[in-house]
Structure 1
Amino acid sequence: MFKTIRLCKQHGVKAGAHPGLQDLFGFGRRKMEIDPKDMYAMVLYQVGALKAMLDAEGVELSHIKPHGELFFYMQRDKGIMRAVLEACATFKVPVYACQNPEQEAMCNEMGVPFQGEVYVDIDYSPEGRLVPFAQSHPVTPDLCHERAFGAAMKDSGKDINGDPFNFGFKGKPFSICLHSDSPTVLENAKLVRQAVDEANRKKFSSQKTNGHRL
């Protein structure tokens, strides 16, 4: 963790917490049943440990994003969602998640900033929900580019069957998720960066305010 924090500091990268289930062998992607009170303590413990290390290095905690099965557990169980968000509220930073009206409403209730996200290297179900990493189709860098560009330009994507759906950002900013253990992650990231730059040029380069380009 210290190594990553120092790399963030060296390269000017924001550092966020990625709390997950205590499933070391399964990389936090296997189901576990946890009492909401224990979940609250677990998230507080994990993020608190990172926050102390960030403070020691003079780096701010930027955001919190639940990892792997913890993310899906929150979508299935509103008691778990509340426990996680109550722990996150302690740190007063945005919580990242897929565009989810229920979670956004709960964040608003608790005063937790909500940051919607697009996932370009895993699939979406026909209902617009995320498909777990292990159950998603492999992606190419070009497909990641296509998905990022479509989200930025049209607020839309395609589900696992190839049918279109709307993300519902409605002009609000969103983040883009890439998984670091994807085999082509470096090329994925490069092409997604290109997609973001292309979309920004198309959407904003011709806009003017008081005769000046934005």
Structure 2
Amino acid sequence: MKTLIDLNADAGESFGRWKLGDDAALLPQVSSVNVACGWHAGDPATMRRSVELATSNGVSLGAHPGLPDLTGFGRRSMALTPVEAADACLYQYGALRGFVEAASADLAHVKPHGAFYGLTLRDPEVAIAIAESVTAVDPDLMLVLLAGPTAERVLADGFRVAREAFADLDYDDNGHIIIEPNPEVKDPEQCAQQAVDVLNGGVTSVNGKALDVDADTVCLHGDRPNAPDIARAIRARFQQHSVRIAPMREVIATRNQ
């Protein structure tokens, strides 16, 4: 079992007067946060508050660029070329970076959201293009990708990648996550067990197939109604197994030793 792991959450996904998730309760439970950058969710004020909340809790910051689809919350597929995907990612990263630098903080990683994340799985050239674009701005930035073939290919090309697994999503038989358009309450203990399974190197698909998973970070979703409860259950389970939660940079540095 791995004894060092990053626990990340997608958050900062409110928009204007519309509040989504309980970030104030969730962020103290995680080591990294992926902040929405305005295309699928988020707005300037929400981005600023998310950065402030993360820095006050010592949480590592990452950009969470999505597809331009507020109505569908970025979870509906769109067709983008690798160049278009890289431009979309860099544009949103730049918007969040402004708030991060104003707070005298820094961005550690970039993680595509929802259907944008799925696009990197269907078209590895998109993942490469995104990696090239963010690395051109900051060579120390990590790109978060689903643990598996695409992540390994981008790693093999020399880019910094954090391989991700999920505690609160199911997997299909191909090892891909099954995205829920509208996440509902999920059993925290079930999610905690899946997180432990990840540390042991594998998860089980919805059809009972055993899948190998080698991950550096485990994700949960801030828009799930009981996300803070899930995070607390995961932390408690990790503590039982003497697993330490640390930011992605520390986990990746240890992996590369």
TM-score, reference length from structure 1? 0.84
Query: Equivalent residue for 2:15?
Result: none
Which of these residues, 115, 122, 127, is aligned with residue 174 of structure 2? Answer: 127
Query: Equivalent residue for 1:178?
Result: 220
Within-5 A mapping of 1:17-166: 17-90=63-136, 91-92=138-139, 93-109=141-157, 111-134=158-181, 139-152=186-199, 154-166=200-212
Larger radius of gyration: 1
Uncovered stretches (5+) of structure 1, i.e. residues with no partner: 203-214
CA-CA distance at 1:179 after TM superposition: 0.5
Structure 1 segments of 4+ aligned residues over 4 angstroms from their partners: 135-138
**Contact kept in structure 1, 2:185 and 2:226, CA below 8 Å:** no
Point out which structure has higher relative CO (alpha carbons under 8 A, 6+ apart).
2
Computed over aligned residues only, the root mean square deviation of the Cα atoms, in angstroms, reads 2.1
Uncovered stretches (5+) of structure 2, i.e. residues with no partner: 1-46, 245-257
Which of these residues, 160, 181, 200, is aligned with residue 242 of structure 2? Answer: 200
1:8 has 2:50 as partner: no
Number of aligned pairs?
196
Give the share of equivalent positions with the same residue, in percent. Answer: 29
For residues 20-75 of structure 1, give each alpha carbon's deviation from its aligned partner in whole angstroms, at most 9, with x where no partner exists.
11111111111111233222211111101111221111011011111100010111
SS of corresponding position for 2:242: helix
SS of corresponding position for 2:241: helix
CA-CA distance at 1:137 after TM superposition: 8.6
Find the aligned partners of 2:123 and 2:177 in 1 and give their Cα distance.
Answer: 15
User: Which of the two has greater helix per residue?
Assistant: 1
**Contact kept in structure 2, 1:108 and 1:114, CA below 8 Å:** no
TM-score, reference length from structure 2? 0.70
SS of corresponding position for 1:200: coil
User: Which amino acid letter does the alignment assign opposite residue 181 of structure 1?
Assistant: D
**Contact kept in structure 2, 1:123 and 1:137, CA below 8 Å:** no
SS of corresponding position for 2:145: strand
